[in-house]
Amino acid sequence: MKIPPVKGMRDFYPPEMSVRNYIMGHWKAVSQRNGFLEYDGPILEYLQLYTLKSGQEIVEQLFSLTDRGGRELAIRPEMTPTLARMVCQRINSLPRPIKWFSVPRLCRAERPQKGRLREFFQWNIDIIGVEDVVADAEIIFCTLDFLQAVGLTAKDIVVRISSRKLLSEALIEIGVPAERLDPVFAILDKRSRLPQEAFEQILSDQIPDQSIRSQVQTLMAISTLDEVALLARSEGACKAIAELRRLFEILHRMGVGQFCRFDIGIVRGLAYYTGIVFEVFDADDQLRAIAGGGRYDNLLAMFDGPNLPATGMGMGDCVLEILLRDKGLIDLQRIQQGLEYYVAYTEPGLMDHAIGLAAWLRRAGRSAGFCYRPVALGKQLKQASDQGCRYCIIIDRQVEAGQVILKDMSTGDQRSVTLDELLRQPG
């Protein structure tokens, strides 16, 4: 009987694996050139690590289990709790600022949708220990450095940026009670995804006062930082605006200003954000957010750690891959790895020479293959071509005099070379 793969999870055959490696390779390379160090944790954590921050309702979005010792565990649905746990564990010995990245495999027990699967990979970058907005700029720059590295331009994507601090201050000035801020944030975060009526309905559950509600709506309709500045009165709001202005200034200096816009509607769903927040979208607004992040200065304290400022970003692989495919930016031909050398032989009696030569090339760091069955040379050359090999080495009786034929598979040119000359080929 045939057993299928688990629903909402992917099999990565070699072509799909090439795409995944292409994306993850760029995630890693860009993280490293931006000065982030890689870390990882286990795929299983204590269930409590997630309920502590998000309450019991998170449980139904998790793959959780009880082990033989009766411990309640869960497959990690996001990386930030693991990061917080690891940082708190060694807080006194880690050099600061902590500037780390990870590319974890994550699972969420949700109904699979376009761009949202039950198993996915997520790039995480975080800077812990830096209060200044320069750290937020670094996070946004690094995100854009990757998106540009895989070929996206300011015509394809936009980073929408706001500030939780600014929004808190503005909502309090309007008259929203401080203890209502968290649920109101959660509702405002859903604003662009809900019909107007449904949005007003759930907003009125939290803000019964019609006049306050209408001021909230006016606030959320603002489209520039200058307009907010005209409204802002409190010292906190003015500071938040100055911080946003400084952020845009740094992003311009970093050469990525053209990707970035102020958008008061960016709120982020999670309760733990405290300052700058941002999301990356496709410019046509056809897909879910490609990435999102922001400042979470209180998170470590929630895990019984010190009060350290922190800011970070997460980007899943699913929406990103859809966008890259839509834009024609995944060239499977180019990213699939073919062999450098295919070692062919003109008669079965020479197969052992081919085996020996392929092994010798590999030990010298070159990639090489050969045919496991002694078939006709033409068939071997066809296999070499099907496998995308760059060169074919043809072994005939001349091999006993140390000579083989080297055939360039792209041009078809061939010439007789010695074994030493082979290794002098550009790799």
Span 100-129, contacts to a copy of itself by CB under 8 A: 100, 105, 107, 109, 119
The span of 153-161, 310-318, 352-360, 399-407 binding a copy of itself (CB under 8 A) equals 352-360
Type of residue at 344: A
Q: Which residues contact 134 (CB under 8 A, 6 or more apart)?
A: 250
Q: How far is the CB of 255 from a copy of itself (least distance, A)?
A: 6
Which residue, 22 or 296, is less far from a copy of itself as judged by CB? 22
What is the rounded distance in angstroms from the CA atom of residue 34 to the CA atom of residue 145? 9
The DSSP call for residue 292 is E
Where in 368-397 is the site for a copy of itself (CB under 8 A)?
368-369, 372-373, 386-387
Q: Which residues are 105's β-sheet partners? A: 121
Which H/E stretch holds residue 245?
helix 235-253
Q: How many residues sit in the footprint of a copy of itself (CB under 8 A)?
A: 93
Of 75, 256, 46, 38, the closest CA to residue 157 belongs to 256
What is the rounded distance in angstroms from the CA atom of residue 367 to the CA atom of residue 150? 26
Where in 150-209 is the site for a copy of itself (CB under 8 A)?
none
Of 273, 275, 276, 271, the closest CA to residue 260 belongs to 276
What is the rounded distance in angstroms from the CA atom of residue 220 to the CA atom of residue 213? 11
Which residue, 100 or 273, is less far from a copy of itself as judged by CB? 100
- Token pair recorded at residue 252: 């311009």
What is the rounded distance in angstroms from the CA atom of residue 200 to the CA atom of residue 209? 12
- Token pair recorded at residue 23: 């994306």
What is the largest distance, in Å, between two alpha-carbon atoms of the chain?
A: 95
75 is a site residue for a copy of itself (CB under 8 A): yes
Q: How far is the CB of 321 from a copy of itself (least distance, A)?
A: 15
The structure tokens 């793969």 sit at 5
The DSSP call for residue 71 is -
122 within 8 A of 314, measured Cβ to Cβ = yes
260 is a site residue for a copy of itself (CB under 8 A): no
Q: How far is the CB of 32 from a copy of itself (least distance, A)?
A: 6
Which residue, 127 or 323, is less far from a copy of itself as judged by CB? 127
Q: How far is the CB of 420 from a copy of itself (least distance, A)?
A: 17
95 is a site residue for a copy of itself (CB under 8 A): yes
52 is a site residue for a copy of itself (CB under 8 A): yes
Q: How far is the CB of 152 from a copy of itself (least distance, A)?
A: 14
Q: Show the binding pattern over residues 227-256: x = contacts a copy of itself (CB under 8 A), - = does not.
A: -----------------------x--xxxx
What is the three-class DSSP state of 204? Answer: helix
Which residue, 18 or 192, is less far from a copy of itself as judged by CB? 18
278 within 8 A of 82, measured Cβ to Cβ = no
Q: How far is the CB of 299 from a copy of itself (least distance, A)?
A: 14
The span of 18-26, 166-174, 200-208, 220-228 binding a copy of itself (CB under 8 A) equals 18-26
Q: Which residues are 135's β-sheet partners? A: none
Q: How far is the CB of 300 from a copy of itself (least distance, A)?
A: 12
Where in 290-309 is the site for a copy of itself (CB under 8 A)?
303-304
422 is a site residue for a copy of itself (CB under 8 A): no
Which residue, 265 or 305, is less far from a copy of itself as judged by CB? 305
Q: How far is the CB of 197 from a copy of itself (least distance, A)?
A: 30
